[in-house]
């Protein structure tokens, strides 16, 4: 991080929550306190849809609450890209679907080149999610509970995570959470943002380009294969070095 002068330029960070966690010095994996703003207990599943407010973090101190090293970026410089939230919503929706139902079978047949493991885990790209949103046959194959949740996903993508923020976006987010609870979906960190921290999203959310996030996911997927799916500081340094190589050197021009 010294090389790319993150502290000097005070860049705004918009990216995957795994990268955010690394830059904030937090332990990765299935940790109890994986949230950098509040002490949200990821293991206290019975209260995820009950509690809205959790104890606020007063500091990111190494050795406490799953923090391992001092943070390299400022919390107020962190933005969440809309696509990242959409991917999380899709993942939990598919994982909560009836695996013997018509809706899940339709997804499996629609994307035959996607592995069975990724289908069950709900791992899709932004383009695949848009295809499903425009597919009326998919809607018709869902049961009532699934269809209600899918409708709420469409609403929040259109009226909050897009270029337009509806006046009642808070109600839309609550309706989404209610439908997810009805499906029995686990609450991930990405969904927790929609439950307790809508104010964390910037007013100009639509100006945060999904294109950058798409490129990131493509590049980081290739890098994950190289590191066999293990997220380490070396992997982050390798990724940062690729970004630096992509910038034209105009010093001597």
pLDDT in tens, 156-202: 988 888 777 888 999 999 999 999 999 999 999 889 989 988 887 77
Neighbours of 31 (CB within 10 A): 15
pLDDT confidence tier of residue 253, bands split at 50, 70 and 90: very low
Q: Residues 6 or more apart from 18 whose CB is under 8 A from it?
A: 28, 231
pLDDT in tens, 90-103: 999 999 999 999 99
pLDDT for 205: 63
Q: Helices (DSSP H) in 184-232: which residue ranges? A: 189-196, 210-226
Q: Is residue 190 within 8 Å of residue 90, measured between CB atoms?
A: no
Q: DSSP letter for 200, please.
A: G
In whole angstroms, what is the distance from residue 242 CA to residue 27 CA?
Answer: 24
In whole angstroms, what is the distance from residue 38 CA to residue 57 CA?
Answer: 5
- Both structure tokens of 220: 């980081």
* Nearest residue to 155 via CA among 141, 142, 169: 169
- Of the two residues 7 and 135, the one the predictor is more confident about is 135
Number of H helices, E strands in the chain: 12, 2
In whole angstroms, what is the distance from residue 111 CA to residue 200 CA?
Answer: 34
- Both structure tokens of 84: 């990242």
For residue 72, count CB atoms less than 10 angstroms from its CB and return exposed for 0-12, middle for 13-18, buried for 19 or more. Answer: middle
Share of the chain above pLDDT 70, in %: 81
**Residue entry with tokens 């991080």:** 1
Q: Dihedrals φ, ψ of 209, to 5°?
A: -70, 130
| R_g over Cα of the chain | 19
Q: Is residue 36 within 8 Å of residue 60, measured between CB atoms?
A: yes
- Both structure tokens of 92: 């939990």
Average pLDDT over residues 114-136: 89
For residue 240, count CB atoms less than 10 angstroms from its CB and return exposed for 0-12, middle for 13-18, buried for 19 or more. Answer: middle
pLDDT confidence tier of residue 250, bands split at 50, 70 and 90: very low
pLDDT for 95: 93
pLDDT in tens, 33-63: 988 888 999 999 999 999 988 998 888 899 9
Q: Is residue 150 within 8 Å of residue 93, measured between CB atoms?
A: yes
């Amino acid at each position: 991080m010294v090389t790319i002068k993150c502290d000097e330029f005070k860049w705004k960070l918009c990216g995957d929550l795994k990268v955010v966690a690394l830059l904030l010095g937090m332990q990765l994996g299935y940790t109890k306190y994986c949230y950098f703003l509040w002490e949200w207990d990821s293991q206290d599943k019975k209260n995820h849809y009950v509690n809205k407010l959790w104890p606020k973090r007063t500091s990111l101190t190494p050795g406490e609450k799953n923090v391992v090293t001092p943070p390299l970026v400022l919390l107020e410089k962190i933005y969440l890209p809309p696509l990242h939230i959409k991917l999380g919503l899709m993942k939990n929706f598919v994982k909560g679907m009836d695996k013997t139902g018509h809706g899940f079978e339709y997804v499996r047949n629609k994307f035959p080149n996607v592995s069975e493991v990724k289908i069950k885990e709900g791992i899709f790209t932004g383009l695949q999610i848009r295809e499903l949103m425009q597919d009326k046959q998919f809607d018709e194959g869902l049961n009532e509970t699934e269809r209600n949740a899918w409708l709420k996903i469409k609403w929040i993508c259109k009226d909050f995570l897009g270029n337009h923020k509806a006046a009642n976006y808070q109600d839309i987010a609550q309706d989404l959470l209610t439908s997810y609870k009805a499906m029995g979906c686990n609450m991930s960190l990405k969904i927790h943002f929609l439950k307790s921290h809508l104010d964390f999203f910037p007013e100009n959310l639509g100006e945060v380009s999904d294109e950058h996030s798409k490129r990131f996911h493509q590049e980081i997927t290739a890098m994950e294969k190289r590191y066999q799916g293990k997220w380490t500081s070396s992997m982050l340094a390798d990724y940062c070095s690729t970004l630096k190589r992509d910038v034209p050197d105009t010093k001597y021009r």
